[in-house]
Amino acid sequence: MHWGIRAWPVSTSSAARPVIRNNVLPEVQVIENKEKWGGKSATKAAYFDKLKGLLEEYRSIFICGVDNVSSQQMHEIRAALRGEAVVLMGKNTMVRRALKGFVAENPEWERLLPHVKGNVGFIFTNGDLSEIKEKILANRVAAPARAGAFAPADVWVPAGNTGMEPGKTSFFQALGVPTKIARGTIEIVSDLKLIEAGNKVGASEAALLNLLNISPFTYGMTISQVYDQGQIFSADVLDIGEDQLLKTFSQAIQTIAALSLATNIPTIPATIHSIVNAYKKVLAVAVETEISWPEIEELKDRIANPDAYASAAPAAAAATGGDAPAAAAPAEAEEESDEDMGFGLFD
C-alpha cells in the first residue's frame, strides 16, 4: 500500500476542507469523541442508578452545604456515619436532571429540586435524625482567616500582650486597634471587633490575625434542609424537645377552647367547659323558678335563709372545740372517787 499526499483545492470557505488539529485525522477524532462521550454517558447512567437506589432505600435525606470542607473532613464524616448513613456528592446539574427523571415515579422527590443549589451534598439515612445531625456537625476544624473570604461569624481581637516589638505599632493603628507599649512590647488595650459576620476579610485583617496566631473560623458541613418521608423542613426543627412540644400543644388546646366558647362552636377541648357553663345556667333557671330536684333544694334553702347557715357555722365550730373539756371532766370525777375508795376507811 502506498501513501500519498493529496493536495486540497484552495478555497476561502473553511467548510470546504477538513480541519486537522494536533496532527490527528478527522476520522480518528470522531472515533475518539464517541469513546469519550460514551464513557461519560456510562458514568452518568451509573450515577443516576445509584441516586435512585438511595432514594428508594432511605426515607430521610440531609441536604448539606460543603463550602470550605476539606477532603480529609469528608473522609472523617463518611467514617463517622458508616453503617448509619451514606454520603453522596455530585454536580447540581446532574442531580437535578436525575430528580426530574424520577419525579414521574415519586412526585415527592420534586420537593428536593429547589434546594439543589450551591455547593451541596446529600446524606441518606434511616436512623435517628437528631443523632445523625450531631455527627454531621461535630466534625469542624479551625481555620485561619483568608483575604477575600466572607466571615461566617464576628471576629474579635482580645486584649492582652502580643509579644511583638514596638516597630509594628503602626500596623495596629492602621486597623484601629487600640494599643500601648508595655515592657518593650505591644499590648492591645481592649477587645476589638475586627470583622463583622458576613463581611469580606481584607488583606490587612488576615495578616493581623495570622500575626497573632488567631484562627477565627471553623469550617465543616452545614445542614440547610432535611427531607423526611416526603416533607422538607429546616434542621432547627430537630432541636425542638419533648417539653417544648407539650407546652406548645397545651397552649394550642387552650386557644382552641377559648375560641370555641367565644363562638359557640363545639369542640373536644371545650366540652368540659361547655358542660360546666350549661349546668350553671340550669341552676340559675332553677333558682328563679319553682323547678326543683333533690340536689337543688339545699342551694335554694341557702339562698332563702342565709342567716341560718351563717349562724350555724360558728356554733358548729364552738361545738367541735368544746367537746374536749367536757370529756376531761368525767375523768377527773373518776380520779376523785378512786381516791375516796382508797382512804375513806381510815377517816
Residue 342 has what pLDDT? 45
Domains along the sequence of the chain with CATH = 26-139+223-239 (3.30.70.1730), 146-218 (3.90.105.20), 243-304 (no CATH)
Non-local (6+) Cβ contacts of 61 within 8 A are 55, 112, 122, 123, 124, 125, 226, 227, 228
pTM for the structure as a whole = 0.55
Q: CA-to-CA distance for 185 and 163, rounded, in angstroms? A: 5
Percent of the chain whose predicted confidence (pLDDT) is above 90: 24
Rounded to 5 degrees, φ, ψ at 109 are: -70, -15
Q: Which of 147-151, 220-224, 321-325 has the highest average model confidence (pLDDT)? A: 220-224
Is residue 115's pLDDT more than 90? Answer: yes
pLDDT-based confidence at residue 54 (cuts at 50, 70, 90): very high
Please name which of 181, 182, 179, 186 lies closest in space to residue 164, comparing C-alpha atoms. Answer: 186
Non-local (6+) Cβ contacts of 48 within 8 A are 98, 101
Residue 339 has what pLDDT? 46
Q: CA-to-CA distance for 70 and 58, rounded, in angstroms? A: 26
- Measured at the CA of 183, the angle between CA 180 and CA 186, to 5 degrees, comes to 35
pLDDT (tens digit, 9 = 90+) per residue, 205-224?
A: 888 888 888 888 888 899 99
Residue 317 has what pLDDT? 55
Q: CA-to-CA distance for 46 and 48, rounded, in angstroms? A: 5
Percent of the chain whose predicted confidence (pLDDT) is above 70: 78
Q: CA-to-CA distance for 164 and 130, rounded, in angstroms? A: 46
Residue 318 has what pLDDT? 55
pLDDT (tens digit, 9 = 90+) per residue, 233-277?
A: 998 888 887 888 888 888 998 899 899 888 888 888 888 888 888
SS3 content of the chain, % helix, strand, coil (to 5): 55, 15, 30
Q: CA-to-CA distance for 318 and 310, rounded, in angstroms? A: 13
Kindly state the helix (H) or strand (E) to which residue 186 belongs, with its residue range. Answer: strand 185-188
